[in-house]
Amino acid sequence: MRLAAPALAALLLPAAVLASDEVAVGAPAPSFSLRTLNGEASGVDWVALDRLVGAEAEDPEAKLVLVTFFASWCAPCKKELPFLIQLDQSYRKKGLRVIAVDIDREEPGISAARELVTSAKVTYPVCSDRFNILARRYLGEKAPLPSVFLIRRDGTLARIDRGYTKDAAVFLRTAVEAELSAKLK
């Protein structure tokens, strides 16, 4: 049996890509499930957003998810990496879950991203979006990097920073602390 191209595309693309909802603060975050590049260090081989947020979340301690998009060739992304490690270490016990999504498409770039996270001793999940399906959904056709999305426990987007030019250490720490303290009230 042969499937028509649109039917085949519908089978291959995740539901999040087919959704027409705009990615905006207050809107539901597009769901995803991606394989990790650092399964041994992070303790997980696959990351599914709906296991961390939403009505059927499986991690009772998760209160806020930070999703960051990066590439091995992105200098600002490399600059952001130590800060994300620090955020993860400082706020994990308070309910923050950090997930990085590598958008490198070719194997040399994916290998470079894997080496980067290994040498930095990243213990939060780092996923591969080789075909940029998730990146296009979150970032649009132009992928400004790095880009960060904060997702609340209920699955809605709390903050979006696409290709930010400010120092992440200041605005992200403030945003993470504000969202986590709001959950404690």
- 11-30 residue pLDDT tens: 444 443 444 468 999 999 99
Q: Tell me the percentage of the chain whose pLDDT exceeds 90.
A: 74
Structural domain for 109, as ranges: 21-184
Q: Is residue 42 part of a domain?
A: yes
**Predicted confidence (pLDDT) at residue 171 exceeds the cutoff of 90:** no
92-123 confidence digits (pLDDT tens): 999 999 999 999 999 999 999 999 999 999 99
Whether 12 is covered by a domain: the verdict is no
Does any domain span residue 14?
A: no
**In the predicted structure, residue 71 carries a pLDDT above the cut 50:** yes
Res 183: pLDDT: 59
Mean pLDDT of the chain: 87
Q: Does 70 map to a domain?
A: yes
Exposed, middle or buried: residue 58 (CB in 10 Å: 0-12, 13-18, 19+)?
A: exposed
| Any domain includes 73 | yes
User: Is residue 141's pLDDT more than 90?
Assistant: no
Question: Could you tell me the pTM of the whole model?
Answer: 0.85
Residue 39 belongs to a domain: yes
Domain for residue 15, yes or no? no
Query: What length is written for the chain?
Result: 185
pLDDT at 170 over 90: no
- 113-141: burial string, b at 16+ Cβ within 10 Å, e else: bbebbeebebbbbbbbbbebbbbebbbee
- Which CATH number covers residue 100? 3.40.30.10
Whether residue 5 lies inside any domain: the answer is no
When divided into structural domains, the chain yields a total of 1
What is the pLDDT, as a whole number, of residue 46? 96
Hey, what long-range contacts does 21-26 have (CB within 8 A, 24 or more apart)?
Answer: 23/137, 23/138, 23/149, 23/157, 23/160, 24/157, 24/160, 25/157, 25/158, 25/159, 25/160, 26/156, 26/157
